[in-house]
């Protein structure tokens, strides 16, 4: 069996934005969550949320919320080449809108 080819990934960043102290801060925050759960586990009722809820309640709120948008409905069969081309055009426009760049070869296809 031959070796499977995979894409080459470029590592753009190897450090967190908060610097070296960010890992310790996050670890302390997670340890606190575990300790609180262990303490609460002695009671019969759960009074605090699970890990995801705990992080949501105690973590920092993002400065900008993520928006999920949908492409317009295309009322044609997906098996038609024109429909596929229109879907690709929507994807290309969306990528360009958020600043993603593609190769020139891909831009010429659509």
pLDDT, position 90: 83
Choice between 39 and 109, residue whose per-residue pLDDT is larger:
39
State how far the Cα of 30 lies from the Cα of 38, in Å rounded to an integer.
13
Q: How confident is the model at residue 76 (pLDDT cuts 50, 70, 90)?
A: confident
- Listed in sequence order, the residues at least 6 apart from 95 whose beta carbon sits closer than 8 Å to its beta carbon are 102
**Per-residue pLDDT reduced to its tens digit, 48-63:** 788 788 777 877 776 7
Mean of per-residue pLDDT scores for the chain? 76
State how far the Cα of 87 lies from the Cα of 100, in Å rounded to an integer.
17
Q: Is 30's pLDDT higher than 60? A: yes
Give the mean pLDDT of 2-23: 70
pLDDT, position 106: 53
- Copy the structure tokens of residue 66: 């993520």
pLDDT, position 108: 54
pTM higher than the cut 0.75: no
Give the mean pLDDT of 39-43: 78
**Nearest-5° angle of CA 93, CA 99, CA 103?**
75
């Amino acid at each position: 069996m031959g070796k499977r080819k995979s894409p080459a990934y470029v590592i753009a960043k190897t450090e967190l934005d908060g610097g070296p102290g960010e890992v310790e801060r996050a670890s302390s925050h997670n340890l606190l969550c575990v300790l609180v759960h262990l303490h609460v586990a002695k009671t019969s009722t759960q009074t605090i949320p699970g890990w995801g809820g705990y992080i949501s309640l105690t973590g920092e709120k993002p400065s900008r919320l993520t928006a999920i948008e949908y492409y317009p409905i295309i009322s044609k069969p997906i098996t038609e080449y024109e429909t596929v081309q229109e879907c690709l055009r929507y994807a290309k426009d969306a990528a360009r809108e958020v600043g993603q760049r593609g190769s020139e070869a891909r831009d010429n296809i659509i």
